[in-house]
Structure 1
Amino acid sequence: MPPTPNVRLRQLLETADWNAAQLARAIRQVATEHGTPVACDRSSVSRWLTGVRPRPPAPQFLLEALSRRLDRPVTPEQAGLTRAPDRMPPVSWEAAPLRTLALLTEAELAPARRTPLTTAPFSPLALAVPGLPLPGPPSPDGERGADDRRGGGADADRMDAMAEVFATAAERLGGGPVRAPLAAYLAHDVTARLRAPSSGTVHRRLLAKAAQLTLLLGRICADGGDDAVAQHYQLVAARLSADARDHGTLAIALRTMATHAHDLGHSGPAVRRLAELACEHARYAPPVVQAYAQAHLAVLQAGYDRRAALTALDRAERLRLDGAEAPGPFTAYSLGALHYQRAQTLATLGDRAGTVRALTASLRARAPGERHARTLTHARLAEAQLGMGHLDAALPHWAAFLDAYPSLDSVRATRRLGLMRRHLRPHRRHPGAARLLGRADGLG
């Protein structure tokens, strides 16, 4: 029998004011963002409208394209795709964060359930965060919970120690080897501690530590190229820190969400609003957190307001230099990272020489343990040097990048390797460039 026409999909197309060609173009755009180009044109959409089922991964991209156009989530049922693969677990600001965290981490550890996670596209709709109560000055009786903090100190200290272990391993090796162990720790140990009875003060402290571990897992997923998974962990981390009333961790989560979206090419009002919210919630956090938030605000403002960008960058540098910091993934902001954000800001402002200087300063300031960051900075500096026409100055940095690349399990590093190949192919007759291309080809 011939397939039944997909009336629901046709109705959505009419609501979106799109024809088949426009939907196909939007699907291709989402697929390209996800790094999985699909062959989709007007005739493909026409077949789907007649009732032919789109083949994976096209359904995921179709639903995301329609969701973006209509500014609301579109489910498989609403699009007449009831046999489409499951999408990400339903994650929203209103969803219970602990239940969501359990769903996500359990799926991470089950290969059959992990596939829908890793094939989902990044969604700008999830960047909308509701208005949250802003912090006020610390209360003078803030020490009344000291006994509670000591009571929950052992569990919280263990979470701190584990966060440092996982962060250090990810920086040395890339996120790949760390992702499953961290997901298991969250799924088994952390969620059990959070469900155990405790006083309000202790529970909030543990929530904040869980938010930091979740945020770290989100960063690792982003480094692995699973951007939708990362986005959902970031949102859960923001919600956990909000429930914990930990505005410093909330500021870090909001800044991370904005950075991730910007890295994927999104820089519209929703992304800038996240960066602004991060600065607002960092107001009474330690100076290092304020500097961290201000630095990325400068990166985003550089595309719109030069003076505001330079003001935010100057503020970040003063806060970073004036404030004390403690070692740890959420209590330190390295000078090398700050110089890197300066380079991003200056690059957007069109200051190529300033970008090279800032990246050079970033390399000099990187601590030996910042291996992953150092490797990516070498690649960025090589690209900046070549952009100024300085091929000979770029080659040593690409060589240093290739030296470290085999020891990193990082999609971000793999993407920089692909960029290096594209940049050097026009110069393949140069002996140094030819040697580097040969080394790169040997890395697969």
Structure 2
Amino acid sequence: MRRRLTLLVAATTCLVLVAFLVPLATLLRSVARDRALASATAEAQGLVSLVGTAERPSLRLSVEQATATSGRPITLYLGDGSVLGSPAARSDAVELAGRDGRSLTVARPGGHEIVIAVRGRPEGTAVIRTFVTRAELGRGVGRAWLVLIALGAALVVLGVAVADRLARTLVAPITELSVVSHRLASADLAARARAQGPPELREVANALNLLAGRIQELLQDERERVADLSHRLRTPLTSVRLEAEALTDPAEADRVAMRVDDLERAVSGLIRQARWRTEATGAGRCDATETVRDRVAYWSALAADTGRRVEVALPAEPQPVRVGADELGAAVDALLGNIFAHTPDGTAFAVRLAGGPGGTTRLEVTDEGPGLPGDAVADALPRGVSRAGSTGLGLDIARRAAQRSGGRLGLGAGPAGGARIVLEFGPLPPAGGS
């Protein structure tokens, strides 16, 4: 924008200068021409009184002196055919002036010829002739044009400098607004724009600051609600734990207590993730192998109770992904929880984790149930909407986890005709990257 404003002012200044300087340059050339012709005419007319009264020797001397003084050729043609001064052939203008007694200025290829008729001499009408060359007609014009060009260039430079300064006062606030908006988009909610520049830009800066403040207020309200939710959930969990400890069967008490511990861990992780997600500067990292193994082990106990066969294929080495352990665990829980919620008891399922090309990671969950609806597409699943009567958040949680790492979620049919859900996680950034 700054460059465009400067170019606009430069172009406008050049057009104005051209419209002003071209007529002025033409006028200067015309003035120089008229001045040279007037000077030559005045010098020739200075000899008129001498031509009418002086004797021939004195007249010859006067013409030679005038030629030497003026620097241009002056010729005197007498009525008897004699020629005094600078020798020159009789032109048609000289013949006409001698015949009619008129004074003339005639344009010639090399300049202008000036002839003046003088009557009163005994031998007839005399004619004074002088010639003004083209160089003399344009004397001083080139220097004047150079001065005009220099003046025009100086005005253009001055105009561009002033335009650049003015453009800077406009562009600087806009650039700052852009920087602040990008900082806000990167979750730096402390960023604020200075109200500077034209009134319209100051108004935009104030509006952006108000928006950032409002976002902070809404996030603060959200954190407070999450904190309140944590207290509300702790109370029933504590009650369940106490009831579990009161069971008479030690094995049953340990089993229920373990489930309560898992539930409490999940609730704590969910609250912690919701509370601090907006303050995170980048995605977390975890070992997908360990996290998936832990969550599959959790669901395996329930699978055994419901008669489900579980097939697990995990790599022997760590498989790092650009997703936090809590978030990846929530995604795995969402996918496995859907199997238990939407397939009958005894339905087998499989979990496979493997590395993909280019440093990617692929998590595949398949089951032998009735499968997904025929029109189910991962990108067309609105958050909170389900075709199976659930909350509609499970697949969205998994999809967000994959997308946060630069990957995606895919839906399809498994080998046994059931559902096949694939989470592809993007590669880790190079060493030193975020």
Q: How does the TM-score come out when normalised to structure 2?
A: 0.21
Flag the structure with higher strand content.
Answer: 2
Rg (Cα) greater in structure: 2
Flag the structure with higher helix content.
Answer: 1
Higher relative contact order (CA 8 A, sep 6+): 1
